[in-house]
A and B are shown apart, each in its own frame.
Chain A
Amino acid sequence: MAGGMTPAPQGNGTGYRAIVGPLLIPTWVMIGIFLVLPVLLMAVYSFLTKEFRGGVVWDFTLAAYDQFFLNRGLFGDEPPVIEWTYITIFWRSIWQAALATLICLIVGFPTAWFIATRPARTRAVWLFLVTVPYWVNLLIRTVSLKFLIRENGPLNESLMALGLITDPLPLVNTNLAVQLGLFYSYLPFMVLPVYAAVERYNFALSEAAADLYASRWVTLREIVLPVVKPGIIAGCILVFVPSLGAFLAPDLLGGAKTFMIGSLIDEQFRGSQGNWPFGAAAAMILMTLVLIVLTVYARAQTKGDAR
C-alpha cells in the first residue's frame, strides 16, 4: 500500500523503463544507418579519387580538397597558388545567407512583436496567416516569386503602368533576386521563434522603463532586445543555416554570377561531368561551417542559461 502513497518516481510507474531499448531501436536504425552512416561515408568519399563516368575509385588522395583550395595550373605542375573560384562561391553564399538573415530580422521582429501584442483572438488569426506560407511547397513559392518578378511579370508591368519606371527592372538572374528568394523562403522561420520569445516577455519591464523616463526606442534596445535575444538568435540560426545550403532560390532566380554552394555541390553529381569526391568535399566544408555556427549557438545558449 505504501507504493500508492508515495508518488512514483518519474518514468517508473508506467513500466516503459524496461522496454526503452526496443522502443528506440527503430529510431537508432533508421537515422543511424540512413543518415549518420551516409555522412561518415561521404567524409570517406571526399578523400577518394574521381572516376570519369561519375563515381569513385578507392584510392585515397587529398585531390578534392586540393582542387578546392589550390590552383596548380592547367597541368598541375606549377607552384600552387590559392584558387579563388570555390572560395568565392562559399563567400558569396555566406554573405547572401547573412544578409537574408538580417533582412528577415528587420522585417520579422516588428511583425512578431506586433502579433504578440494583439488580443488573443486576432493574434491567432495573424499567427495562422504567417504559418500558412511555411506549409506551402518551397518550390512552388520560389516559382511563384520568379513569375512575379520576371522581366515581363506582373511586378514590372504594374510599376510601369504606375509610371514609376519606364523600362522593366532586370531582377531575375541577379544577386538581388536570389536575396529576395532567400528572404521570402525563410521569413516564417524568423517570425515564429521571435514571436514565441516576445509572447513570454513581461511587459511590466517596459512599463517600469517608461516610468523611469526611458523612451520607446531606448526601452526596445536596452530592455526588450536583451530579454528576447534567445528567440532572435534561434530565428537567425533557422534562417541562416538553410540559406547557406539553399538550392532552389539560387538555381531558379539566379544565374551563373550568383552561383551558391548548393548549386556547386549539385553540379558535381549530375551525369558524367560530375566529380563525386569534389562534391563530397564541398559538402563536408559546408557541413563544417554549419557545425561551427551551431556550436557557437549552443555555447551562447548555455551561457545564457547560466546567467
Chain B
Amino acid sequence: MKGVRHYPGFLAMAVACLVILYAPLIVVTGYSFNGSTSITTWGGFSWRWYADVFTGPDAPRFKAAAWNSITIAILAATTATAIAVAASVAMIRGGRFKGKSATFALINLPLMVPEIVTAVATLIFFSAIGLTTGYMTILIAHITFCIPFAYLPIAARLQGIEETYEQAARDLYATRAQAFRLILLPLMMPGILSGFLLAFIISLDDFIITNFVKGAGMETLPTAIFGSVKQGIKPNIMAISTMMLAVSVLFVTLSYLVNRIGQRTRS
C-alpha cells in the first residue's frame, strides 16, 4: 500500500518548500527583537522597536495608516460580504435565469484582470469622472475586488445546504424573509464568516491598487511600509511586519476553526 504513494525525495521537497516559505518570516521576526540600532549585528533581545512603532518619530504616521487600513478593511469586507450573500442566494437559489453565466463571469472578473491593470483602469476612471482620490476611492476599489473573495466561500457553503429546510419553513407559512433570516442565514453563517475574513485580509493586504487610487498624503499600512522600505529596511519596519504577521496567523487560525465548526454542523 505504501509503495505506490511513496516517491523518494518528495519528503525532502515538501520540507524544502516549508523552509523556503518560512525562513524569511522567521528571520524577520527574530531580528524585530534585536536590541541594536544596526540591522546587521545582534544586540540582545529587546522590545525597543515595538516601543518605537508606538511612540517613536514615525508613530503618528503609522498610527494614521493603521487606522485607515483597519477601517477600510472592515467597511470593505462588510459591504463586499453583504453583496456576496445577496449574489450567492440569487446564483444558487435563483434557478436558471437569463444572464446567469455572464453574472458568474462578472463576479470572477476581479480575479482575472491583473492587479496592475485594475489599478490603472480605476485611477483613470476616478480621474475622468473628477473624483478626488483619497479614502473614499480606496474604499470603493477595495469593495469591488473583495466581492469574489467573499463570494467563493459563501457560495460553496450555500451549495451544500439542502433546500428542504427552507421549503419546510415555507410550507409552515414562513415568509421568504422569515425563512431566510431564521433558517438559511444561520446555516450560511460559517461561509459568511469565512468570506468576511478572507475579504478583510485581502483588503488589508492590498498594495498595488491602493497605491494608485490613494491620492497624495493618504496612506494605508502597506503603502506606508513601502514608502519606508524604499529608504532601506529599518528595525521598526521589522517590528510592524511581525505584528502584521501575527494578525495574519490569527486570522487564518480563526478561519480554519470556523471551517471546522461549519463541517461539523453540516454532517
Q: Could you tell me which A residues sit within 8 Å of B by CB distance?
A: 4, 8-17, 19-20, 23-24, 26-28, 30-32, 34-39, 41-42, 45, 55, 107-108, 110-111, 113-115, 117, 126, 128-133, 135-141, 143-148, 150, 152-154, 157, 183-184, 187-188, 191, 203, 206-207, 209-210, 216, 219-220, 241-242, 244-245, 247-248, 252, 261-262, 265-266, 269, 276, 279-280, 283, 286-287, 290, 294
Contacts and interface: CB of A to CB of B under 8 A. Distances in A.
B135 interface: no
B4 A203 contact: yes
A296 to B, nearest CB: 14
A13 B166 contact: yes
A129 B18 contact: yes
Contacts of A210: 3-4
A31 B106 contact: yes
Nearest to B256: A128
Contact of A20 (B90, B145, B237): B90
B264 interface: no
Given A9-B95, A24-B90, A34-B125, 20 more contacts: A10-B95, A19-B90, A23-B86, A23-B89, A27-B83, A27-B86, A27-B103, A34-B144, A35-B109, A38-B121, A110-B10, A111-B13, A135-B249, A143-B229, A154-B31, A187-B17, A191-B17, A210-B4, A283-B121, A286-B117
In the A-B complex, list the 9 residue pairs whose CB atoms are closest, starting with the nearest.
A11-B95, A245-B114, A206-B4, A38-B125, A38-B121, A144-B24, A110-B13, A23-B90, A20-B94
A274 B176 CA distance: 54
Nearest to A191: B17
A152 B107 contact: no
Contacts of A252: 229
A111 B113 contact: no
Instruction: Name, among B109, B118, B120, the residue most crowded by chain A CB atoms within 10 Å (CB to CB).
Output: B120
A283 to B, nearest CB: 5
A247 B7 CA distance: 37
Contacts of A138: 205, 207
B95 A145 contact: no
A294 B105 CA distance: 13
Interface of B: 3-7, 9-11, 13-14, 16-18, 20-25, 27-28, 31, 39-40, 82-84, 86-87, 89-91, 93-97, 103, 106-107, 109-110, 112-118, 120-125, 127-128, 140-141, 143-145, 147, 163, 166-167, 170-171, 176, 179, 184, 201, 204-205, 207-208, 212, 222, 225-226, 229, 233, 237-238, 241, 244-245, 248-249, 251-252, 256
A143 B237 contact: yes
B103 A28 contact: yes
Contacts of B147: 27, 30-31
Nearest to B38: A152
Contacts of A294: 112
A46 B222 CA distance: 29
A229 B14 CA distance: 20
Nearest to B8: A216
Nearest to B26: A144
Nearest to A16: B93
A45 B109 CA distance: 21
A276 B39 CA distance: 39
Given A138-B205, A147-B27, A269-B123, A27 B106 contact: yes
B13 A36 contact: no
Given A15-B170, A135-B248, A143-B237, A35 B113 contact: yes
A43 to B, nearest CB: 9
B208 A247 contact: yes
B114 A136 contact: no
Contacts of B87: 23-24, 26-27
Given A39-B121, A148-B27, A290 B112 contact: yes
B83 A42 contact: no
Nearest to B115: A245
28 contacts: A14-B170, A16-B90, A17-B95, A20-B94, A27-B107, A31-B147, A34-B140, A35-B109, A35-B122, A41-B121, A42-B125, A113-B7, A135-B252, A137-B241, A139-B205, A143-B237, A187-B20, A207-B4, A210-B4, A245-B115, A247-B116, A247-B207, A262-B116, A265-B117, A280-B120, A283-B120, A283-B121, A290-B113
Contacts of B6: 117
A129 B121 CA distance: 36
Instruction: Name, among A8, A24, A133, A279, the residue most crowded by chain B CB atoms within 10 Å (CB to CB).
Output: A24
Contacts of A265: 116-117, 120
Contacts of B89: 16, 23
Contacts of A191: 17
A221 B30 CA distance: 42
A42 to B, nearest CB: 4
A219 to B, nearest CB: 7
Contacts of B95: 9-12, 17
B251 A266 contact: no
Instruction: Name, among A136, A219, A242, A261, the residue most crowded by chain B CB atoms within 10 Å (CB to CB).
Output: A136
B51 to A, nearest CB: 20
A117 B29 CA distance: 32
A257 B238 CA distance: 28
Contact of B241 (A9, A20, A32, A143): A143
